[in-house]
Amino acid sequence: MATGEAKPKAKAEAKPKAKPKAKAEAKPKAKAEAKGKPKAKPTKSLKTSKAPKGKATTAWSQNSTIPHSLYTHSKPRVVAVKEGVKLERPQKVLKDKDSNQDKVLQETIQSNLECFLFLQQPEQAERILMLCHRSPVKQKLLDVSAYNIVMRCWARKGCLQHIDQLFSMLESVDLRPSLDSYAAALQCLGRNQSPADAIQRYLEKLKSDGFHVEELFEKCLFEEDEKEKVLRAIRTVLPNYQLPPPPKPQTCKSSLLQDFYSKEKVVSYPKLDFSVEELQERFQQQLQMELNNTITIESVEAAKPPTPQAVKARELLGTLRSQWHDAILQALQKSRQSMAKARTLSKYNILYPYMCLLPDEEYASIMLQVLNTLSPQGESLAVLARELSSKVYSRYITHRKLRSHQLEKLQGVYEDYIHLLAKDSQPDQYLPREYWEKLVAEAGLGSSLNLKDCSWPYVVLMRLGMHMLELLVKAVTVPRNLLNPRLESKPIPVLYHIYSYQNTWQVGLIKPHPIFSQIVTDAAETMLTFHSSAMPMLCPPVPWTSPHFGAFVVNDTKLMRFVDGDVQHQLLLDQCPPVNLHPVLDALTQLGNCAWKINQPVLDIIISIFNDKGNEQLDIPPPLSEAPRPPTAPGHSSTWSKALKHELLLCKKKAAEMHSLRMDALYKLSIANYVRDKVFWFPHNMDFRGRTYPCPPYFNHLGNDVTRAILLFAEGRPLGPRGLNWLKIHLINLTGLKKKNALQERLEYANEIMEEILDSADRPLTGRKWWMNTDEPWQALACCMEIAKASRSPDPAAYISHFPVHQVGAQQIFMAHDGSCNGLQHYAALGRDLIGAVSVNLMPCSVPQDVYSAVAQQVEEFRKKDAERGVKIAQVLQGFISRKVVKQTVMTVVYGVTRYGGRLQIEKRLKEIDDFPEEYLWEASHYLVRQVFNSIKEMFSATRDIQTWLTESAKLISQSGRTVEWVTPLGLPIVQPYYRMKSTVLNCGMQNLSVRTPNNSQKPDTMKQKNAFPPNFIHSLDSTHMMLTALHCLRQGLTFVSVHDCYWTHALTVDIMNQICRQQFVALHSEKILQDLSEFMLEKYCSPNTETIATWQKKLMEQLSNVPRTGEFNLKQVMDSTYFFS
């Protein structure tokens, strides 16, 4: 949340579109820092008049030094430190309050040392280490890994004397050397070809510290030739020493996957329709794209010929960018020279090594990319700072992988790995992960594929980004008279810093000057630049083998997505036995291995409408030229009426929304157009609950109707005897019609309207346009086209599409099946709730049951009784209770919506009813939300009992100061990342940033922990069911992907997938899920450390032991329920 100290001079701008990725908000900096002016008082209307809650991190001064004053003030205050000013030593170290700041400083020191290791500057690394080692305060922040980094620096230079000294330093501060310490020493000894007695001395010390030589190769990660040098040293003393054999592969013991991992029942992994040579060529294309870091593609708007004005503007932009490039290079060099002068720790600039990691050209390119993509509405400093530093970090990791020869080794392993997938190689009974691990073990020496973790602290990333942003703002100028020759020619900044209001908080923005925005608009450039990780992959993804390795070839990808600064998820994954993660890793790999292609006819229709002013009804955003024109505003803004100001604000807001939607659609369509003739893949990862997502953020199958309509499976299959029928049923599902009808009735309806279906396929834009009036028009159109082709083929059952690379052929479509109110299905199954099971289609029925209509009917019964008793609001509501009014609240009750949230949902629905009396909105929504909750409680009694049990358990756990953790039935460890976040104030040159990041040293947020546990737990079961289905579909040879609880496969295999989906749901809920959860939590939270048990532990033990009772529903009936998934 943003905090501010000074009333800004600039007028507040309209709120820009917020990007979700940045957690830091701007804290406007007092003007007092310059020229000794008195500090401006904050405006009284803002919440910012009080000091921020977070403690000011004065350690990160204006010039990013590491002074000792990190520990000084018990009350927060922001201090601006001028370059070169030496800060006083603290009087004492604050223990508890500063533990997080200590952690940040410790991580910063280590990442600084890692940078010097990469830069091959052991002298600089040792200088920083020595400065900290000699400081009584800083010394406490150094752990053995800091000393190890410096040892590795010297080991690569072969300087044994320095390593001996570092071992002595460890001893002097009572730190025990680790395996990495000995690996560095032995590497140095091997590099120098040292005598046997020196090596023997270190080997004996290693043994006396409780280690074994084998552990060096089993547990340490090596880069470049480090492993070979360690082995050479050992063989000097033990000539016959052999590397320890790779550990025997472990098999997952999960009862849910015994058949899947059984070697007796294993089948060959399905082949792709590509030869080894073709896949190798694709891998090289993907590798080159990732090494280039970015890719520039043609926009779908490029089809329009440029106007003379556009040509002139593009030439001007080219000239300006060349000038800016030179100015940025100059600014970078000047900044780095200034940083390099520091000689004491208090003046040392922590950003110095980060500004040396890349060639200057790459820093300049990154800064210009941010400038080129800046919206005319501007962007938050925090977002831009995070974007800049993330790009630097990404490039650093790429260089590191190249330097360490990790990519060289990965390339060799991948070229062998594709034999598992290629059609012209022998079939093999390995899973991708198993085959990859086998190949890595066989590769032996060389760099480890998993590099040592070298992540940068969030505070450092924000500081680095802010520093680069400041350089950019100062360096990039434009002549004032560029567009108006009558003005003077003095240079003015292209970017300027303003403040805006977001929910009464001041937020710093960087906004482009109107001159620059005008040139960009006139140029109408038709090239778009994306980071390589934003693009679909051109080869099958690297299989997930650990929480740190998988997906892209070069780009770093986390197995689990989490917010900046949150480390608990990663710690849990790292501590989890690798074999327990195999099901999750294998499921993610399988989802990523689905090959895709573009439905070109549909894409071409969409692009034609996009370039012809769009169509909001069809979800194709119009260009800004179609935005509502703001009214003419005469005179000065102080004379405008309130109504005029409001109208102008609405126009500005609408324009910002339209720009955002238009750019989002432009990105998606341009990427799709770029891969229109290619086969491609979407690597996957997951969130902390286990829900899976494609890694490329813009264009993927989780997108909207438009995006899904232009995606096809690359693999073609015949429709088979029932495939055409499934296509027709799928089309009717997409229309939103016949929801309450049986499948046979939907099929009959499709046959009745075949004339409309064929007309839509043949003349989508000139015919009767039946497809346009459906719920999902673009997917409906794609399905119409597929039905037309199949029904017109000589033998529809044999109709098949096969796509050779770079050739246009016929198409095939997939079937998407949705769970029926999926969360309630899991609750009904957990509680064996008979009435609930009927309502959510777990029980066989002749027609689908509609839980929303059932709840609306129950609410209406309650209303009638109240109306008869004379309750006024019940009488007013006569005739207004419908499925639509209650649907959203019923849907979200299972995911933890409160009565307050539910009331707002119902109020919104009632407002949409023209005849409903406005004066009764609040009372009616208040009454209805109570009755909806009562209805659900009556209909789903077991559901409410389980929800209450989960909520109360989470409440007691979080009140004890712990976060809620559990393990899914597939073995994935989960922790809820909700804490009472505190702000850290960063003093930056342009303004202060109030950074809020979670950390595990802070107390959990009890309210969020308890309210989020039931929905998060259900989401984790939902993802478990999906992963089980994915893995068993693999064994049956099906193509399978999912959009959470929406499962996709070919029309041919819908019946098989339906059977697998039901089998896995029954298998999952046949486990003692709630009992296992209770036992896990009792062991984790209630195992007494002392003989006496605390009162809160007794209360929690009682709560956790009281597992809700289950009802009479027979789970096996799900197998015969047609509408469980339909």
CA distances from residue 465 to 104, 397, 473, 786, 987 in whole angstroms, order as listed: 17, 17, 12, 49, 13
Torsion of the alpha carbons at 384, 388, 393 and 398, rounded to the nearest 10: 130
Q: Residue 1064 class from Cβ within 10 Å (0-12 exposed, 13-18 middle, 19+ buried)?
A: buried
Residue in the structure block whose two tokens are 């609040």: 922
State whether residue 1113 is helix, strand or coil.
coil
Catalytic residue among 102, 180, 945, 1045: 1045
d(CA 827, CA 842): 11
Q: Which residues pair with 994 in a beta bridge?
A: 25, 985
Catalytic residue among 452, 887, 955, 982: 887
In single-letter form, the type of residue at position 154 comes to W
- Helices and strands (H, E) in the chain, number of each type: 39, 22
CA distances from residue 216 to 181, 241, 351, 799 in whole angstroms, order as listed: 10, 13, 33, 58
Residues 6+ apart with CB under 8 A from 368: 321, 324, 325, 328
d(CA 483, CA 677): 42
CA distances from residue 723 to 717, 720, 1032 in whole angstroms, order as listed: 10, 5, 21
In single-letter form, the type of residue at position 84 comes to G
Q: Which residues pair with 26 in a beta bridge?
A: 993
Residues 6+ apart with CB under 8 A from 248: none
| Neighbour-count burial for 819-829, b at 16+ CB within 10 Å, e otherwise | bbbbbbbbbbb
DSSP 8-state symbol, 960: T
Catalytic residue among 818, 866, 1008, 1084: 818
Q: Annotated catalytic, 1045?
A: yes
Of 765, 768, 733, 772, give the one whose Cα is nearest residue 750. Answer: 733
Structure tokens at 820: 């029926």
Q: Annotated catalytic, 326?
A: no
Q: How far is CA 761 from the centre of its chain?
A: 37
Structure tokens at 1018: 């259900």
d(CA 259, CA 1036): 12
Judge whether 704 and 619 are in contact, CB under 8 Å: yes
CA distances from residue 546 to 436, 511, 549, 586, 1027 in whole angstroms, order as listed: 11, 42, 5, 10, 17
d(CA 177, CA 211): 10
Give the count of beta carbons closer than 10 Å to the beta carbon of residue 423.
13
Residues 6+ apart with CB under 8 A from 183: 216, 220, 222, 226, 230
DSSP 8-state symbol, 979: B
Strands (E), 279-335: 294-298
Q: Is the dihedral of CA 166, 167, 173, 179 positive or negative?
A: positive
3-state secondary structure 850-890: CHHHHHHHHHHHHHHHHHHCCCHHHHHCCCCCCHHHHHHHH
d(CA 697, CA 664): 11
State whether residue 295 is helix, strand or coil.
strand
CA distances from residue 155 to 152, 163, 230, 445, 629 in whole angstroms, order as listed: 5, 7, 10, 18, 67
Judge whether 994 and 664 are in contact, CB under 8 Å: no
Q: Among all residues, which ones are annotated catalytic? A: 818, 887, 1045
